[in-house]
Structure 1
Amino acid sequence: MNTTEDMNTRLTKEDQALIKKARRNKCSGPIYSEDGLRLLKVLGNPEYLEVEDGVKAICDYAFQGLNNLHDLVLPASVVDLGEEAFASCHELFKITMPGVEFIGKECFGLCDNLKEIALPETLRQIRAGAFACCKALEEINIPSHMKIIDKSAFRNSGLKSLNIVISDDCKCWIYDRAFAYCKHLESVYLNKNVKIVERMAFADCTSLKTIEFEQPSLTCCAGEINATMLIGCTSLEKIIVPKNKYNHYPDFNIQGYESAQFETRDFNSLITPKE
């Protein structure tokens, strides 16, 4: 299986020369690397595009700013989406990507109309700002083997609810402001294999009413316990933690919220995710 280390999404001088030649010849559509493994750039302004099977990576900025693109289909062979690969595709509504493992930095940033996207079970990392400002994105499925949801990954998106259930053979790390400023987010559930790292993961989610932890974890990368993950959540009504276990988490202390907002629940009957 290819990884980001052996499937680079950055354009080389040779890649840039191919693109320049295609432009000079007034080509339209996708431009592929000579070995056919990487989609370098899309020329023209298509409404619909189906990427060739066998392509493994979409290079940085490949589709950036294509303001006519509505629908995109990637083959299962594509594992890596590059930095800002689809950024500012303002009319992009739907994308199919059954085999993707890595979504690059700001990959779908400012895709205002992106509404239909199924994250595949192959997905392992969502990089910084990948879905930032995707305001039409109301729901998302987080795969059960996700490992990293990086900084600002879904910042200021249109999410209404969030349910993250990670398999017992995996840990998912959520970084700084990953879901901050999601003004329509009302409920969050995080199972025991989800770990909050750094700060302000849900900051200023002003509609958030309930957040539920199977096992609270707020240790930041520097080792201290941070209490800012819910700062600015002015509608918060309930923080749910495990029944009779809260006292085992003395460091789980979210300042600014009354003890009456905490509720305990028996998690012994939780259904574990399907493998």
Structure 2
Amino acid sequence: METVCFSGKCPEMSREELEKKAWKQFDVHSTLTKKVDILVCEDVDSGTEKVEKAKRYGTKIMNYYDFLELLDGGDRAQSKKEEAKQKKKKQIDFAIAKAFFDVIVQEHPLKNMKVEYGAKEFYLVIPTKDGGVEVCLESAKAEKWRQTLPSFLDMASGGATEKELREYMAEKKLSDASKYRLKISKYGELKGLRSNATYLVIPDNVVEICEWAFSFNNSLLSVVIPSSVTAVGERAFQDCKNLKSVVICDGVKIIGEGAFYGCHSLESVTIPSSVERIFTLTFTNSGIKSVVIPENVWEIHREAFYYCFSLTEITFRGTKSQWEKVSKGDKWNYCVPAKVVHCSDGDAELTGAAE
């Protein structure tokens, strides 16, 4: 290791900080002797006693700026070396995890399971008779999931329901893939997908689903919107043509204009009691056959259920009198085949105007 000695004041840091940084690559001496390899000073042509002495000794002389650049160069080289080592280690870890995974899948085959490989994880898309689940297996956690994955796959192949599989996932800490699929801001805004999702469970740290977040996505089959979400933005799920199941938990207050416009496979929706207004075009041209409207709703905007050709059953959780007081916009139910609204105390007219 080369030796170094300092003279004068470093312009960028204190002597103590400099020496601490230099010790990583050099043996730091407090005095200049013939054994010192480098003298670092403010000006190599200053003619000071130390500079002249270093010249007589044949010691290399450099200014502080050049020396700091030398130090940083060494740090960068070391950093790149460490990065290469970590990258290689991750590659090895992923290869080991993949070997575990391949063996488990061969020994516990599951029909219709879809496998996707990420940079350092595996995604399993598993359909069930009542929906499906998505699992993320991180290669770094292979030692944990290799113990629980076989039983999980056996459960799935034995006809377990979506609920049963999710309960097992929670118990054994198998990660739902949803959080890895989503683009979520630090403010809890769900902006869209990083990669296509099939069975999506939105995590509890989301407070808002942004406008157009999932629009025109044909891979999405089901979505669960948690109570942490207060607003579903305009056109958020527009033209998700294969979206069949939507669970909207209490807590959602706003379902924006055209949120489920053109969702042709969507058959039924229960609107949570936290919603008070159903906005324009919310379910227009969708495939819903039944809808449950909470008693708190006081306004249904124009064309909210426009061209819902399959909607034969509308349930309102309030009374007939309450239904009649609901403000209804123009053509809110245009081309809907339902004839009446099922209220808590009997059937009311579908087109009953607000008082």
Bin the TM-score by the shorter chain: 0.5 to 0.7
1:146 to 297, 305, 308: 297
1:128 to 280, 304, 316: 280
1:179 to 333, 337, 340: 333
CA 1:97–1:161: 2 relative to 1, 3 Å:
closer
1:73 aligns with 2:224: yes
Whole-Å Cα distance in 1 between the matches of residues 351 and 199 of structure 2?
44
The CA RMSD measured in Å over matched residues stands at 2.9
Whole-Å Cα distance in 1 between the matches of residues 198 and 352 of structure 2?
45
Q: Which amino acid aligns with 2:247?
A: T
Q: Offset of 1:164 from its aligned partner?
A: 3.2
Given that 1:190 and 1:214 are in contact with CA atoms closer than 8 Å, whether structure 2 keeps it comes out as no
Whole-Å Cα distance in 2 between the matches of residues 133 and 40 of structure 1?
24
1:31 aligns with 2:180: no
1:106 aligns with 2:274: no
Given that 1:138 and 1:160 are in contact with CA atoms closer than 8 Å, whether structure 2 keeps it comes out as yes
Given that 1:54 and 1:75 are in contact with CA atoms closer than 8 Å, whether structure 2 keeps it comes out as no
CA 1:62–1:145: 2 relative to 1, 3 Å:
same
CA 1:169–1:115: 2 relative to 1, 3 Å:
closer
Secondary structure of 2:243's partner?
coil
Q: Offset of 1:216 from its aligned partner?
A: 5.8
User: Structure 2 unaligned runs (5+)?
Assistant: 1-118, 120-178
Given that 2:327 and 2:353 are in contact with CA atoms closer than 8 Å, whether structure 1 keeps it comes out as no
Given that 2:268 and 2:289 are in contact with CA atoms closer than 8 Å, whether structure 1 keeps it comes out as no
Whichever structure has more helix as a proportion of its residues is 2
Equivalences for 1:91-102 in 2 at 5 Å?
Answer: 91-99=242-250, 100-102=252-254
User: Structure 1 unaligned runs (5+)?
Assistant: 1-24, 192-210, 220-275
Q: Offset of 1:162 from its aligned partner?
A: 2.7
Equivalences for 1:228-239 in 2 at 5 Å?
Answer: none
Q: Offset of 1:217 from its aligned partner?
A: 4.0
Q: Which amino acid aligns with 1:90?
A: K
Length-normalised TM-score, structure 2: 0.44
CA 1:47–1:189: 2 relative to 1, 3 Å:
closer
Equivalences for 1:1-275 in 2 at 5 Å?
Answer: 29-35=181-187, 37-99=188-250, 100-135=252-287, 137-157=288-308, 158-166=310-318, 171-182=325-336, 184-185=337-338, 187-189=339-341, 212-213=348-349, 217=353
Q: Which amino acid aligns with 1:159?
A: L
Q: Which has the higher contact order (CA 8 A, sep 6+)?
A: 1
CA 1:96–1:213: 2 relative to 1, 3 Å:
closer
Secondary structure of 1:140's partner?
strand
Given that 1:110 and 1:132 are in contact with CA atoms closer than 8 Å, whether structure 2 keeps it comes out as yes
Q: Which amino acid aligns with 1:177?
A: K
Deviations 1:23-67 (A, max 9, x none): xx9x972111122x2111123221111111032110000011110
Secondary structure of 2:235's partner?
coil
Q: Offset of 1:215 from its aligned partner?
A: 11
CA 1:34–1:132: 2 relative to 1, 3 Å:
same
Whole-Å Cα distance in 1 between the matches of residues 217 and 284 of structure 2?
18
Q: Offset of 1:85 from its aligned partner?
A: 0.1
Q: Which amino acid aligns with 2:219?
A: N
Given that 2:292 and 2:317 are in contact with CA atoms closer than 8 Å, whether structure 1 keeps it comes out as no
2:127 matched residue in structure 1: none
CA 1:84–1:214: 2 relative to 1, 3 Å:
closer
Whole-Å Cα distance in 2 between the matches of residues 83 and 49 of structure 1?
19
Whole-Å Cα distance in 2 between the matches of residues 214 and 89 of structure 1?
28
Bigger CA radius of gyration: 2
CA 1:88–1:148: 2 relative to 1, 3 Å:
same
CA 1:72–1:215: 2 relative to 1, 3 Å:
closer
Q: Offset of 1:126 from its aligned partner?
A: 1.3
